[in-house]
Structure 1
Amino acid sequence: MANFVLVAGAWLGAWAWDEVVPELRAAGHSTHPLTLSGLGDRKGLPAGQQTHVRDIVDEVERHDLHDVVVVGHSYSGIPVGQAAERIGDRLACVVFVDSNIPAQGESFASRWWQGSPALESAIDKNGGFWAPLAADDYDGQGLTDDQIRRIVSGSTPHPGATLTEPAALERPLGELSATYIKCLLDGPEPTDDVAALLTGKRWELIEMNTGHWPMFSEPRELARILHRAASES
């Protein structure tokens, strides 16, 4: 069975996977939910883009993991995509959960839908951090009030440098064996960069009829999809 390294998106930590982990373990997999530097119980640690890449690679190497399925949600698709390349033959596949993907020399901010200056300004005004979302920002994402409260109460400000530093790829992303999960309540189509990769032979698209945070709204279904991706890799 696979060794899952699970990385949640901006503001979140390992705790975001609490309802997915038991499902994966019941299917026989080992799980390594990861809190990135500067977030959650690692708040206060300095972190840039490559720090987060190193966090993921270190988790794999520290536990001597093989048959690794690296899972990146939202922002974390950017460091996960880079880390997946760097762990070499330890990798079974990578799963991007409604996520951004890295592009050589590009940052999260440079592809931000409101534009890089808007995000950089918001980070500057918040002391170098991206402020967590408010409860109202989660409306229409298939979440219960209790789930929204849990996300909001657990979120921590996200280190701004991880969003503004550029990605560094060692080879084309299309060479990775990858599953991309598109959460339809957050938009019906993948972004153009993802759509281009999905035309290749090594990337697969799976749709979920839920919002951008499926580890909270549909944890059992998400675990089922992750198990399938591992089984087919």
Structure 2
Amino acid sequence: MDILLVGGLWLDGSVWDDVAAALRSLGHRPVPVTLPAHAGATLDDQVAAVLAAVDAASGEPVVVGHSAAATLAWLAADARPPAVSRVVLVGGFPAADGRPYADFFPLRDGAMPFPGWAAFEGPDSADLDEATRRSIEDAAIPVPEGVATGVVRLTDERRYDVPVVVVCPEFGPEQARKWVEAGEVPELAKAGRVEFVDIDSGHWPMYTKPVELARLIARS
């Protein structure tokens, strides 16, 4: 099966290298997606890149979205509901219609740079050693303003028929269920089939638990 891998903020497709290798060993065809991040790129540009990967896939792919890119994976399900077999959300939840995509941190010179590790102290980054932190920070790609502040538009309610798997890294499945039940994740509250699975990691399991993450994705 084709498995499309979409990284979160500041990441390119190479973040999935170890996960992709593990998925290939399990007999799947991983497709890491590098999102447009040039000056002037917009949320629509990034959605178009994901949809191009969906359209090029063999059969009905699984779309994996990490962190903020959970919204990109969900937008793919919205735009191509019959073509997406499943959405896997790793450490993130889809934004609702009309909400900004990812205006989480300050903008500078038309982009949202990586804010530094103080913003992620605690469970998010506790399993990252100093070398991995430096590697992530050095490779971080500023998120264009047109992406970070882009408005999410969802139009096809058939997206709620697409099965969803939520991989829970720095939070647990029970906590995720409570957020959904409390109405904090309205898109998943309306979804017909949502499964929550645990992974013992921080926010970036593709670095710290790539084989385990690949197995969870494949199992879905």
TM-score, normalised to structure 1's length? 0.81
Alignment pair present for 1:220 and 2:182: no
Name the counterpart of 1:7.
Answer: 6
Once the two structures are superposed, the pairs formed by residues 106-117 of structure 1 within 5 Å of their partners are: 106-109=99-102, 112=104
Output aligned runs, 1:35-114, within 5 Å.
35-38=34-37, 43-44=38-39, 46-61=40-55, 63-109=56-102, 112=104
**Structure 1, unaligned runs of 5 or more:** 113-118
Identical-residue share of aligned pairs (%): 27
- Is the Cα–Cα contact under 8 Å of residues 20 and 30 in structure 2 kept in the other structure? yes
**Does the Cα contact within 8 Å between 1:4 and 1:32 map onto a contact in 2?**
yes
Q: Does 1:189 align with 2:180?
A: no
Q: In structure 2, do the counterparts of structure 1 residues 3 and 64 end up closer, same or farther at CA, with 3 Å as the change threshold? A: closer
* Cα RMSD for the two superposed structures: 2.4
| 1:121-170 residue CA offsets vs partner (Å, 9 max, x unmatched) | x21xx111111132455554211222212211111111121121211112
Q: Identify if the C-alpha distance between structure 1 residues 159 and 58 changes in structure 2 by more than 3 Å, giving closer, same or farther.
A: same
Shift of 1:109: 4.4
Q: Residues 12 and 109 of structure 1: is their aligned pair in 2 closer, same or farther, counting only changes over 3 Å?
A: closer
Which position in structure 2 is the counterpart of 1:177? 163
For 2:152 and 2:191, how far apart are their aligned partners in 1? 22
DSSP 3-state at the match of 2:217: helix
Moved more, 205-214 or 188-197: 188-197
State TM-score, norm by structure 2.
Answer: 0.86
| Cα deviation code 1:182-217 (max 9, x no counterpart) | 113699723443487268541111122211111011
The structure-2 alpha-carbon separation of the partners of 1:196 and 1:85, relative to structure 1 and needing over 3 Å to count, comes to closer
Offset, 1:85? 2.2
**1:129 and 2:111 aligned:** yes
Q: What's the offset of the Cα at 1:16? A: 0.5
Match 2:131 to one of 146, 157, 162: 146
Aligned residue pairs: how many? 211
1:176 Cα offset (Å) = 1.9
Q: After superposing the two structures, state which structure 1 stretch, 145-154 or 26-35, moved more.
A: 145-154
Between the aligned partners of 2:147 and 2:18, the Cα distance in structure 1 is: 27
Give the Cα separation in 1 of the matches to 2:54 and 2:81.
11
Residues 188 and 145 of structure 1: CA distance in aligned 2, closer, same or farther (over 3 Å):
farther
**SS in structure 1 opposite 2:131?**
helix
Q: CA deviation at 1:227?
A: 0.4
Q: 2:28 aligns to what?
A: 29
Asked if the contact 2:3/2:31 (under 8 Å) is kept, the reply is: yes
Q: 1:84, 1:74 → 2: CA distance?
A: 16
Judge which range, 177-186 or 163-172, deviates more: 177-186
Residue aligned with 1:184, SS: coil
**Structure 2 partner of 1:116:** none
